[in-house]
Amino acid sequence: MPAFHVKVKWGKEMYPDIELDTGEPPMVFRAQLFALTGVQPQRQKIMLKGTTMKEDTWDGLKIKNGVTILMMGSKEEDVPVEPTEKTAFIEDMSEAERNTMLELPVGIKNLGNTCYLNAVVQCLKTVPELHSAIKEFKPKRPGGEADSSAASSSLLTLVEVESGSLLTLAIQDCYRTMDSGKTAVPLVLVNLFRTNFPRFAEQGEQGMYMQQDASECWTELMRLLMQEVTAIDASKTSKNFSSSLIDQFFSGEYSCEWKCVESEEEEVTQSTDKFQQLMCHINQDVKYLHTGLVARMQEQITKRSAILDRDAVYTKKSKISRLPAYLVVEMVRFFYKEKGAVNAKILKDVKFPMILDVFDLCTPELQKKLSPIREKYKDMEERQLEEERAVKRGKPLAPEDKIRTRSLPFSFEDDFGSNNSGFYKLQAVLTHQGRSSSSGHYVGWVRWKGNEWLKCDDDDVTAVTEEDILKLSGGGDWHCAYILLYGPRILEIPEEDDKKPAEEVKMEAE
């Protein structure tokens, strides 16, 4: 179907050149208008020569180039609020209202088998650098320059806003709504996600949208944000990881050694690979996350041998040469089962830690760089242990007796967005409940305050404990950890160290 260039009149504003593609669902056009005006799609009434545009079809509209389309609707903040306060009882409140009363964050509405997307969005929201960057996101012009007034000015016509930018704006709106204490209804986000990635728009026999794999959703969203969200202080980041914020904070690097098993004459070769996830393959020997990660660092791969002039088996040994600030670990729980043609699930119990140490997965060169800062964690742990012992003895330290501390950066000075210690702290878990990746239910579990956690089951958000999180390791039909998101473990040092000469502090660490 053709694309038209139309005019849109909204109140006193006239937008003279907007592309309307009737080959896409009307929701995409509504999302474009939302990006331009800030009027939510559900608040838009769009008319052409007396005919109102329907939500899911272009039928009845006679569209041609240059035609003027009338849009009515106001931004949510423009709607007057009823001043009368009514007595509210907790049992009569919605989940979002109860969360507001109890100062709990809110969730995201499930629009029909969209829990996989909701869980991913909730987990990514725990990364403060990404959360802030998305909330401040501005669409780019074709030349690559962000327009500071793109969301409210007619200077940037919507024909210039690419679909990826629209989808990022939809995530932005979702985050802003949640931050304001209101449950997000991700109508625009879901429709644009399905438009950008059509395989997630698969429908069943009765026309209902089908459940999708949260890991595939995670991968697609990260790839999109890689293109849309720019790096922070790119000049302070290693040039190989400064292309975007996702590259800075989520991308690591392997140093790989290749040895041909079938030829002694062939020399050992070296290569480097980027990664955004570590994979934990699960078999009968894997009972702990670390075991699965170590096993993945050596594998047998078949590839072409120049000396043998045929395919041959190689042993590939990998070590991490760059650690990202945020480490994503996928528990490889699904495999294709021909009988039934489904991605069947491995329910095995695999324990994961709250504090993850990946020092032994790193190259000797990186280990040498990590060692100085790692020594300081021992002092921090001793201080924390002493405070815990005092509490157990019934004599907690008085505030004036506690050592005042400050946080140290978690990145190397010459590589902003990296991890400088090898230590990580669990901050989000995405779980699956069910027997197949294309069925069942996905939930996000996120660290909230200190050791307090939240279970984000779509728009039902409840407080849980660390013990509840550790029970997500699998072993049955309860929620099983599928994706683990580890963030930097922050190092706290005594403020007295600030008074010491820099050389002395460095010598102590070494």
Are the CB atoms for 105 and 203 separated by under 8 Å?
no
154: left (phi over 0), alpha (psi -120 to 50) or beta: alpha
Buried/exposed code over 146-178 (b: 16+ C-beta within 10 A; e: otherwise): eeeebbeebebebebbeebbbbbbbbbbbbebb
C-alpha separations of 451 from 27, 28, 119, 392, 470 in Å: 41, 41, 20, 18, 12
Tell me the C-alpha distance between 161 and 165, whole Å. 6
Where does residue 85 rank: exposed (0-12), middle (13-18), buried (19+ CB within 10 A)? Answer: exposed
According to DSSP, the residues that pair with 452 across neighbouring strands are 449
Query: From the candidates 115, 217, 280, 456, which is the catalytic residue?
Result: 115
Tell me the C-alpha distance between 294 and 312, whole Å. 24
Catalytic residue at 131?
A: no
Residue 243 has a CB neighbour count (10 Å cut-off) of 16
Q: Which helix (H) or strand (E) holds 180?
A: none
Q: Which helix (H) or strand (E) holds 331?
A: strand 327-332
Tell me the C-alpha distance between 250 and 229, whole Å. 13
Residue bearing tokens 């409940």: 433
Tell me the C-alpha distance between 280 and 282, whole Å. 6
Are the CB atoms for 326 and 426 separated by under 8 Å?
no
Query: From the candidates 290, 441, 456, 480, which is the catalytic residue?
Result: 441
Catalytic residue at 280?
A: no
Non-local (6+) Cβ contacts of 381 within 8 A are none
Tell me the C-alpha distance between 72 and 258, whole Å. 63
Cα of 348 vs its chain's centroid, Å: 25
Question: Which amino acids are annotated catalytic?
Answer: 115, 441
